[in-house]
């Protein structure tokens, strides 16, 4: 039988040996999320990444837009000059490497950047096998005739946020978007004295044809958030747009017609007999919209709503009253 002093030393020895072992995980194990395996569902199904990616290559404009909105600067994206002309917001930092076009990226340049993950959309889907030789690939399809594009954009935004460990930032950004759009709606209700017009939006394909936006377009979704209905009903398509003859715009009736810039032949509209015969032109219910990308991600809905609001405010009845008062 152990003496009391020997028994005490046995307990003390056990304490000295066991306690460091119990404490070891909190010291030696890295609990940072960057080393935690990530399971995410993209448009192909369940994907697993070894850790939170830091070096992100975004190979479509809508993907790049969403990554930037989360406060992450991608190491690479395609056609930066085109993005700056057509998409514009959010701004692209100078350090982002341009890796060619959206349909034909420069694989050698991309591989040299050593991305942790490559995120693609529909235009790059056929390149997936080659891209997977460079880095893990995630595919998010925003635009499809088989789903609601606006909902898909929002869902994809949160999925990308999960990948980048930016979920709280994503929710805050969406909350801000809805607050901004609500404010825009109130401005329009005031300017139009509580009676918002029906509105149709389009891009010119030529002087005689247009791309008319309808169901499943971010333009119409943004208008709906502003409390505005379409002047011309257009059935849902993959991209939310249908090509129509210019003369079909007569069906706008007493509604408002807005067209997106840029349009290279815009100066020629003044001399177009067909254009000037349109009721919305004759009654000053027409305006251009500053460049806004119709095929973007979740936050492009906010930029779209802002661009639409500015265009509508410029031709609002109260705007005309104000102009008249200034000339009296």
**Across the 328 residues of the chain, what is the mean pLDDT of every consecutive 10-residue run?**
47 42 35 69 95 97 96 97 91 96 95 98 95 97 91 96 97 98 98 97 96 95 98 93 95 96 90 94 95 92 97 87 43
Q: Which CATH number fits domain 33-165: 3.50.50.60, 3.30.300.30, 3.40.50.1980, 3.40.50.300?
A: 3.40.50.1980
The answer to whether the CB of 134 falls within 8 A of the CB of 116 is no
- pLDDT value of residue 65: 96
Ranges of each domain in the chain: 33-165, 176-327
DSSP codes joined into one string, 121-179 = -GGGGGGHHHHTTTS-EEE-----TTS-HHHHHHHHHHHHHHHTT-HHHHHHHHHHHHH
Strand stretches in the chain, DSSP E: 38-42, 45-49, 56-58, 76-77, 97-98, 117-120, 137-139, 199-204, 209-213, 241-245, 256-260, 286-289
- pLDDT value of residue 36: 82
Instruction: Tell which CATH architecture fits domain 176-327.
Output: 3-Layer(aba) Sandwich (3.40)
- Asked if residue 90 has a cis previous peptide bond (ω within 30° of 0), the answer is yes
Give the orientation angle of helix 218-225 with respect to helix 149-163, to 10 degrees.
Answer: 90
Token pair of 153 as six digits: 């954009």
- pLDDT value of residue 326: 37
Burial of 237 (0-12, 13-18, 19+ CB in 10 A): middle
Cα(257)–Cα(200) distance, integer angstroms: 5
Strands 209-213 and 137-139: unpaired
- Tell me, yes or no, if the two domains 33-165 and 176-327 fold the same way: yes
Phi-psi region of 194 (alpha: psi -120 to 50; beta: other; left: phi over 0): left
- pLDDT value of residue 21: 40
Among 36, 66, 69, 68, smallest CA distance to 52 is for: 36
Reduced to 3 states (helix: H, G, I; strand: E, B; else coil), residue 54 is coil
The answer to whether the CB of 89 falls within 8 A of the CB of 113 is no
């Amino acid at each position: 039988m152990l003496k009391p002093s020997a028994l005490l030393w046995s307990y003390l020895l056990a304490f000295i040996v066991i306690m460091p072992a119990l404490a070891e995980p909190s010291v030696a194990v890295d609990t940072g999320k960057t080393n935690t395996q990530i399971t995410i569902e993209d448009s192909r199904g369940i994907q697993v990444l070894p850790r939170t990616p830091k070096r992100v290559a975004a190979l479509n404009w809508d993907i790049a837009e969403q990554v930037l909105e989360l406060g992450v600067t991608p190491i690479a994206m395609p056609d930066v000059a085109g993005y700056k002309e057509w998409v514009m917001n959010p701004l692209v930092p100078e350090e982002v490497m341009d890796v060619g076009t959206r349909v034909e990226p420069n694989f050698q340049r991309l591989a040299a950047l050593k991305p942790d993950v490559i995120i693609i959309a529909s235009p790059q889907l056929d390149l997936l096998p080659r891209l997977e030789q460079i880095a893990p690939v995630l595919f998010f399809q925003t635009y499809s005739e088989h789903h609601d594009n606006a909902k898909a954009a929002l869902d994809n935004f949160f999925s990308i946020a999960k990948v980048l460990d930016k979920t709280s930032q994503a929710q805050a950004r969406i909350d801000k978007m809805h607050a901004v759009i609500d404010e825009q709606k109130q401005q329009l209700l005031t300017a139009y004295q509580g009676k918002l017009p029906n509105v149709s939006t389009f891009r010119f394909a030529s002087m005689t044809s247009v791309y008319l936006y309808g169901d499943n377009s971010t333009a119409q979704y943004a208008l709906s958030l502003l409390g505005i209905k379409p002047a011309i009903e257009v059935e849902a398509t993959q991209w939310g747009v249908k090509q129509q003859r210019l003369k079909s715009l007569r069906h706008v009736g007493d509604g408002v017609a807005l067209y997106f810039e840029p349009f290279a032949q815009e100066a020629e509209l003044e001399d177009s007999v067909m254009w000037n015969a349109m009721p919305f032109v004759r009654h000053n219910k027409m305006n251009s919209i500053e460049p806004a990308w119709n095929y973007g991600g979740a936050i492009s809905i906010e930029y779209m709503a802002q661009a639409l609001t500015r265009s509508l405010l410029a031709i609002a009845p109260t705007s005309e009253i104000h102009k008249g008062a200034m000339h009296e």
